[in-house]
Amino acid sequence: MSTLILRTATRYLVPILLLFSIYLLLAGHNYPGGGFVGGLAASAGLALYALAFDVRSARAMLRVTPTTVSAAGLLIATLSGLPGLFKQLPYMSGQWIVLPLPGFDPIKVGTPVFFDIGVYLVVLGVTMSIIFSLSEETK
């Protein structure tokens, strides 16, 4: 599988896929997209890298183990439910603050975004650990 063409193409494709995944993640609140698809796109990028080069370098690119990624995601998603509690609202109630940005339209940041980031990381971590262990298994 690891031909020169694929390897060269991968070098350009992976950053694009990762960027696109982040776009999907952030667009997810009002448009089609979201943490799940974003995470899948990102893991597609990493999986492509693992195909073109090898699993070890893909692991190295991720820097931390997939388990840690998904644990971090879970933690973020769980904690994103907490802020609502301070306003005497039930767990997971959405909270929003508007951040004014100089020169741009103000953007709304809310707990659902953090929840989505958590989902993104969990999906990425879980998919990568599935793909890594499957491809290491078959060797």
Q: Which of residues 18-57 bind another protein (CB under 8 A)?
A: 36
The b/e string for 95-116 (b: 16+ C-beta within 10 A; e otherwise) is beeeeeeeeeeeeeebbbbbbb
Q: If binding is defined by CB under 8 A, does position 93 make contact with another protein?
A: yes
Q: If binding is defined by CB under 8 A, does position 84 make contact with another protein?
A: yes
Q: If binding is defined by CB under 8 A, does position 100 make contact with another protein?
A: no
User: Using CA atoms, how far apart are residues 7 and 100, in angstroms rounded to an integer?
Assistant: 42
Q: If binding is defined by CB under 8 A, does position 97 make contact with another protein?
A: no
122 touches 43 (CB < 8 A): no
Q: Considering only the stretches 15-23, 49-57, 70-78, 101-109, report the one whose residues sit in contact with another protein under the rule CB under 8 A.
A: 70-78
User: Using CA atoms, how far apart are residues 46 and 59, in angstroms rounded to an integer?
Assistant: 9
Q: If binding is defined by CB under 8 A, does position 78 make contact with another protein?
A: yes
33 touches 41 (CB < 8 A): no
If binding means CB under 8 A, how many residues of this protein chain bind another protein? 23
14 touches 48 (CB < 8 A): yes
Among 7, 51, 71, 83, binds another protein (CB under 8 A): 71
Q: Considering only the stretches 17-25, 42-50, 53-61, 91-99, report the one whose residues sit in contact with another protein under the rule CB under 8 A.
A: 91-99
Site residues (vs another protein, CB under 8 A)? 36, 65, 67-68, 70-71, 74-75, 78, 81, 84-85, 89-94, 126, 130, 133-134, 137
